[in-house]
């Protein structure tokens, strides 16, 4: 089927666009923008992780290192060289791609739990490295001088520009996720997920396919990191390489349904809204991560296919829409 005739693709893009446009119609626009920035960021992170975890079947606890490294490199260019945002974003993407390529060559020969363990180690290693790397400000990180925002017409306008860039990027990620899933490359990845040895016997060059999937899934968090820390105005190792954030992204992917385009999108949006609610609730605000853990447990035990996967199984007619 041609992509533009697939209602499933349109539904995913429309939902993303609706999230993105919400601040334009909401009453308190800056507040809505901040809220939706978090949601879109999660959608982007979850959908890009899904290429690795959902399509290829490699659980990755280190997705956030690409967010952190891309963010750091972009931030460095922004603060030290006063590079334009798009140059910083491009540098973040390239850094993440390069790191993923080299890492992939090293750790993608590991399978299952061994790969997952290696990715946890890498997250810690990246944090330690940046903490002790003086050009990046060491443990205190870096802060943007306020005049950097002047080039974008002031801080307020800079925040809107960053937000719009994130909306466009998220739409692009959804499109890429869809194109990968419906391509020959994607079929190869899913064959690897189902049975890597059998896939190789069929002629799928698994080492290459896995490496490119890893690179592709790393590029987007690299850009998102640049946008996020530009908006934030400062960056430090603890914020850039937070293992719990990697875990939260995994929860989002599984909550919505891994291996689907629409699944991580819904999972990320639902999770972030839930988290927003928990954070302001007096009862849950200190244990919101415990809730995430419990949620993951419940999904794995009772709805391993995730929300969208469950709907697809329960109502086969919806399959056309929920790709």
- Residues at the contact surface with another protein, assessed by CB under 8 A: 183-184, 187-188, 190-191, 193-195, 197-206, 259
Minimum Å gap between C-beta 249 and another protein is: 22
Q: Which is nearer to another protein, 51 or 191 (CB)?
A: 191
Rounded Cα distance between 76 and 84, Å, is 12
Instruction: Report residue 305 as tokens.
Output: 């296919």
Q: Which is nearer to another protein, 140 or 195 (CB)?
A: 195
Sequential DSSP letters for 272-313: HHHHHHHHH-TTTTTSHHHHHHHHHHHHHHH-TTHHHHHHHH
Q: Which is nearer to another protein, 91 or 260 (CB)?
A: 260
Minimum Å gap between C-beta 207 and another protein is: 9
Q: Which residues contact 10 (CB under 8 A, 6 or more apart)?
A: none
For 110: left if phi > 0, alpha if psi spans -120 to 50, otherwise beta; the answer is beta
Rounded Cα distance between 257 and 261, Å, is 9
Q: Which is nearer to another protein, 33 or 193 (CB)?
A: 193
Rounded Cα distance between 240 and 91, Å, is 16
For 195: left if phi > 0, alpha if psi spans -120 to 50, otherwise beta; the answer is beta
Minimum Å gap between C-beta 113 and another protein is: 20
Neighbours of 316 (CB within 10 A): 9
Minimum Å gap between C-beta 210 and another protein is: 12
Q: Which is nearer to another protein, 135 or 304 (CB)?
A: 304
Q: Which is nearer to another protein, 14 or 205 (CB)?
A: 205
Q: Which is nearer to another protein, 55 or 136 (CB)?
A: 55
Locus of tokens 């967010």: 67
Q: Which residues contact 123 (CB under 8 A, 6 or more apart)?
A: 61, 62, 64, 65, 241, 243, 246
130 with 68: CB under 8 angstroms?
yes
Minimum Å gap between C-beta 183 and another protein is: 7
Minimum Å gap between C-beta 202 and another protein is: 5
Q: Which is nearer to another protein, 206 or 278 (CB)?
A: 206
Minimum Å gap between C-beta 292 and another protein is: 26
- HSE of 232 in the Cβ direction (CA atoms, 13 Å)? 19
Minimum Å gap between C-beta 194 and another protein is: 4
């Amino acid at each position: 089927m041609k992509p533009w005739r697939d209602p499933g693709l349109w539904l995913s893009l429309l939902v993303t666009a609706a999230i993105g446009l919400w601040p334009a119609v909401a009453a308190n626009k800056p507040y809505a923008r901040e809220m939706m920035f978090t949601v879109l960021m999660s959608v982007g992170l979850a959908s890009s992780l899904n290429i690795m975890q959902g399509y290829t079947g490699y659980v990755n606890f280190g997705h956030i290192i690409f967010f952190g490294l891309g963010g750091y490199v972009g931030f460095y260019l922004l603060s030290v060289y006063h590079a334009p945002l798009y140059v910083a974003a491009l540098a973040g993407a390239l850094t993440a791609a390069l790191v993923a390529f080299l890492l992939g060559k090293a750790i993608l020969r590991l399978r299952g739990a061994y790969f997952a363990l290696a990715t946890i180690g890498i997250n810690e290693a990246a944090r330690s490295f940046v903490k002790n790397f003086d050009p990046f400000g060491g443990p205190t990180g870096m802060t943007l001088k306020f005049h950097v925002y002047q080039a974008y017409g002031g801080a307020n306008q800079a925040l809107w520009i960053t937000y719009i860039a994130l909306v466009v990027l998220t739409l692009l990620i959804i499109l890429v996720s869809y194109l990968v899933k419906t391509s020959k490359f994607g079929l190869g990845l899913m064959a690897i997920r189902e049975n890597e040895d059998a896939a190789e016997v069929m002629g799928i060059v698994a080492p290459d396919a896995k490496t490119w999937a890893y690179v592709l899934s790393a590029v987007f968090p690299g850009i998102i990191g640049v946008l996020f820390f530009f908006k934030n105005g400062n960056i430090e190792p603890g914020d850039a390489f937070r293992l719990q954030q990697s875990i939260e992204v995994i929860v989002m992917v599984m909550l919505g349904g891994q291996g689907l385009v629409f699944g991580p999108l819904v999972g990320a949006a639902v999770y972030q809204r839930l988290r927003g609610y928990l954070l302001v609730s007096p009862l849950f605000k200190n244990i919101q991560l415990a809730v995430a853990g419990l949620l993951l447990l419940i999904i794995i035990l009772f709805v391993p296919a995730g929300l969208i996967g469950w709907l697809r199984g329960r109502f086969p007619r919806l399959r056309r829409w929920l790709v």
